[in-house]
Chains A and B, each alone.
Chain A
Amino acid sequence: MVNKRYVARRFALMLASLFIVITILFFLFRQVPGGPMSAFTNPRMSQAARQAVIEQYGLNDPLWRQYIRYMVNVAQLDFGQSFYYGSSVSALITDRFLNTMSLMLTAFTISYTVGTYLGAQLGWLRGTAKERVGMVVVLFVRSMPVFWTGMVILYVFGFQLDVFPIGGMRESTASYDTTTAKFLSTDFLYHLVLPVFTLSTYYTGLPLLLMRNNILEVLSESYIDTARAKGLTNRRVLFVHAARTAILPVVTAFAIAIGFAVGGQVLIEQVFSWPGLGREMVQASLRSDYPVAQGAFALLSAIVITMNFVADLAYTYLDPRVRLGES
């Protein structure tokens, strides 16, 4: 089981990694050529106006002073104001984060549920014609670039058949009073179908292959023979005895995938005009909107680091043989 001292130490390490990541991000973005002022193009600002804005954002201070100010604010969970939007970075990122997570979590939940189940089945069916056909289909789908699949699906169901919307998160004329109403509306679910279908088709491959390989390994273990000898049904042997062991790496993969889900699927967000965090991160980097870019990447790293930790902890519950932090 989990050792409390170990958890505390891991937690401290996590904070240290985050500190390093945020520091690197701070300096990295400022090394990129171009500056935040150049986002104000057409007609561009006059020198005087530009100078005034630069001073307003404190960009004329020495870098080290800007850094200290930033770190002090971040420690208080204040990520500052976006140069581009002029509004609070936290509010902006929260909004885009919800959009992205509603898309990515739905897709991942579907892929990992379906993938794990089908993977186990394919492992069990090893050597049969069904398995060979199954593997070809999986590899085929997995090899298609996701943005391409997205465009084909959009073309067929959106452009040609006109049964699903061609982009965005809701009808142009729809407006909702609360965030909850927005995400629970059928309108939203309707817009979610195509991107989620595209993403889950693509992401199902990984847990499926992982599960299949693990099942193959586990099936050769002697406790499986014991289970069979007891006269258990195939189904019970597969899902209660074999799958429980085989699922461990899938859990890690799932946890890490969720971490990266924050970054969204930039290409899919682009194809389906989804106002997610992934596109925002790319745009913010191109616009040299440092506060937004830094905030978004910091959130991404924080979640990846945390999810890794969570995956480790989850192990100890799923597999009683695993003990963390004991030498």
Chain B
Amino acid sequence: MRKMGAAGAAIGSVSIAGCSGEQTTTTDGGGDDGGGGSGARVVEEDLPEERMMDDVIHLAYTEQYNPGRYQANRLVDQRLTDEMGIPTVTDPVEATVVSDREESGDYDIVTYRWSANNGEPDSIIVTRFASDGSENWTGFSSEEYDEIAYEQRQETDDETRQELVHEAQDIIGEQRPENQYLFNEYYYAFRSDRFEEDSVVVTDTGLRNIWNYTQIEPKNEEGNTIITNNWDPSDQLNPLNANAIGPSRNWVPTRFMHDFLIRTGPELEAQPWAATEWEWEDDTTVTFQLREGMTFHDGEPVTASDVVWTYEMMLDLEPPAYLNNVVQVVDSVEQDGDYTVTFTLEEPYVPFIKTTAGIVPILPEHYWTALMEETGTTEQPWQITIDDDNPVVGSGPFQWGTWDQGSRFEMPSFDDHFMAPNIDRRIQRPLSTSDAEMEALINGDYDLLDYWFGDTQQLQETVEENDSLGAIETLGSGRQSAWVNCQRPPFDHVPMRQAFNAVVNDTQQTIIDEAFDGFGQEARTFINPSLEFWHNEDTTFFDGGIEGATTILADAGYVWDEEGNIHYPEGMTGK
């Protein structure tokens, strides 16, 4: 017995959409819970073997790596398998294996957390979803999308650009290569008996941001030295090395010791820093006015020639870390007097302000040329070992103190800085378990926790019980998402992705409450609401839960056998 709707599905899903709902109603798909709630399911007998869906591989980090994310994955996979008849297998592997397999396309679903680089939406819009994006591992490809994606990065008018960014989110929302689990919220604890609570600044990166470390006001002697965790110990502090600007264990101290033309402010807006102002002269020319009177930690003045030297050295030697945002973007850089620098770009690139000027440290020419000469590393200065013998000399609010790699890194504050910190120094010192970290905060060994990877509820209870502790909550800038492999079945078929989205959306609240202890918000798009200007709250998404997902699939011609296993529409097969 063959049901009507399914027979016609191959002709065109649109025409079938109207009638399949009424004509193919059946509920006894998979026995006990298999068919529950799937009123739209089309059940057929004697389906050919090759149309049966193979296991869907959900590539995941291990439970130990991130318990919340792992539980969320299990929830989603179970619903897909039990309620949708889509055989989904959670495949947890070590962190180093995830990215390898993702890049080689050896997965169907992969889940992790990702955020916009420095609050700049371009880092997601082009890099992740444009056909030739350097981090487009889903293999998503759409001409319409590519056009908008490249247009937004050239649009100097903010309002027009905002519209384009919203449109890009909507296309991705409709096509669903990415399906958000949640926008994470974080909880950060500090010693309220040592700092003025009003002076604590939290940003999307938590307490480990320069605004907090320069503005936090100590109440007493103990607050003058901030001792913090910093998760893993720093391991690479050469600002030219790719590893120094990636992971935050290195990026945080590197950012604290250097100055940048601009910095991203607490609201993720571009704020004047070493440059007091900047101006686009035309699509490809931008001029920065440097602040006067700045000095490096060794007392030498910071001038336009240091900025020019830094960029020209990068254009010349091409450090891997700065290929994307300098080498491929900047055509030339020139100085006009001691305090004016003009960049000419290869092509219009609006994100330049945040992703280049906000990320490239201003290096002292005199120090680096000498260092490269002494170490004989004139071709690949990112290979120079930076340590107590060859420390960082920058001009940032903190300077190099002593580094006992693996145990501690001390940075005294730089009193001559225009944003000189109120504290005397910052010491990062790792402890290897979160219990020890919490204990260290309670007994006063730590002044604040830069990171907290332990149980958030437990931390919250501890803070509430303890008079000398305070806390601050914040919405991060990223999202936990499941990306699907658009290059192979089953997710090379758009309805399958939309159905997956409906299941994920229906599970979001449970994920937030159960797996993340309520620390999170429902998420429908890849740009976090903390990037308020760019976030599109009306992004298309799919709802209706299992029922909705089943309707989408039935409309597209998917059918189920009597055991409740899903089968591809006629004419389609699996991997």
Contacts and interface: CB of A to CB of B under 8 A. Distances in A.
| A, B co-complexed | yes
Given A159-B439, A172-B227, A38 B97 contact: yes
Contact of B431 (A33, A88, A168): A168
A169 B246 CA distance: 28
Contact of A175 (B225, B410, B431, B432): B410
Contacts of B430: 273
B323 to A, nearest CB: 5
Contacts of A59: none
Contacts of B135: 44, 46
A33 B100 contact: yes
Nearest to A177: B402
Given A33-B97, A34-B94, A173-B225, A86 B439 contact: no
Contacts of B95: 38, 41, 286
Interface residues of B, number: 55
Contacts, number: 142
A43 B117 contact: yes
A38 B93 CA distance: 13
B320 A52 contact: yes
Interface in A45-63: 45-50, 52-53, 56
A245 interface: no
A1 interface: no
Contacts of B247: 40-42
B320 to A, nearest CB: 4
Contacts of A172: 227, 408, 427, 429, 445
A167 B431 contact: yes
A34 B323 contact: no
Which one of B96, B99, B236, B432 has the greatest number of beta carbons of chain A within 10 Å? Answer: B96
B130 to A, nearest CB: 13
A84 B385 CA distance: 12
B296 to A, nearest CB: 23
A287 interface: yes
Interface string A259-297: 000000000011101010001100000111000000000
Given A44-B135, A46-B135, A86-B238, A275 B407 contact: yes
A271 B433 contact: yes
Interface string A13-48: 000000000000000000001110111111111111
A122 B410 CA distance: 51
A166 B324 CA distance: 43
Nearest to A158: B439
B246 A45 contact: yes
A286 B99 CA distance: 14
A87 B385 contact: yes
B98 interface: yes
B246 A43 contact: yes
Given A41-B99, A286-B95, A166 B225 contact: no
A187 interface: no
A273 B431 CA distance: 5
Nearest to B232: A283
A78 interface: no
Interface string A158-187: 110010011111101101000000000000
Given A49-B323, A49-B324, A273-B430, A86 B225 contact: no
A225 interface: no
Contacts of B456: none
B407 A168 contact: yes
B93 A33 contact: yes
B448 to A, nearest CB: 13
B515 interface: no
Given A48-B320, A49-B324, A172-B445, A35 B431 contact: no
Interface string B336-353: 000000000000000000
A212 interface: no
Interface string B224-241: 010100000101101001
A248 B387 CA distance: 47
A35 B99 CA distance: 9
Interface string A136-172: 0000000000000000001000110010011111101
A34 B238 contact: no
A43 B124 CA distance: 11
Nearest to B446: A172
A88 B246 contact: no
Nearest to B93: A33
B254 to A, nearest CB: 13
Contacts of B241: 86
Contacts of A286: 94-96
Contacts of B123: 43
A64 interface: no
A39 B406 CA distance: 17
B436 A46 contact: no
A85 B98 CA distance: 21
A90 to B, nearest CB: 12
A4 B427 CA distance: 55
A160 to B, nearest CB: 10
Given A40-B243, A166-B440, A34 B96 contact: yes
Interface string B418-434: 00000000010111110
Which one of B238, B246, B324 has the greatest number of beta carbons of chain A within 10 Å? Answer: B246
B160 interface: no
A273 B408 CA distance: 12
Interface string A84-96: 1111100010011
A275 B405 CA distance: 9
Nearest to A280: B406
Contacts of A279: 432
Contacts of B360: none
A43 B112 CA distance: 12
Interface string B101-123: 10000000000001001000001
Given A43-B123, A168-B407, A169-B407, 20 more contacts: A33-B101, A34-B97, A34-B100, A35-B96, A38-B95, A46-B135, A48-B324, A53-B320, A84-B236, A85-B235, A86-B238, A86-B243, A96-B406, A158-B439, A166-B443, A168-B429, A172-B445, A175-B401, A270-B433, A271-B432
Interface of B: 93-101, 114, 117, 123, 127, 134-135, 225, 227, 233, 235-236, 238, 241-243, 246-248, 318, 320-321, 323-324, 380, 383, 385, 387, 401-402, 404-408, 410, 427, 429-433, 436, 439-440, 443, 445
Interface of A: 33-35, 37-50, 52-53, 56, 81, 84-88, 92, 95-96, 154, 158-159, 162, 165-170, 172-173, 175, 269-271, 273, 275, 279-280, 286-288
6 A-B pairs with least C-beta separation: A34-B96, A275-B406, A52-B320, A49-B320, A46-B134, A34-B97
12 contacts: A41-B246, A42-B246, A42-B247, A45-B242, A45-B321, A85-B405, A86-B383, A158-B439, A168-B408, A168-B431, A170-B407, A286-B95
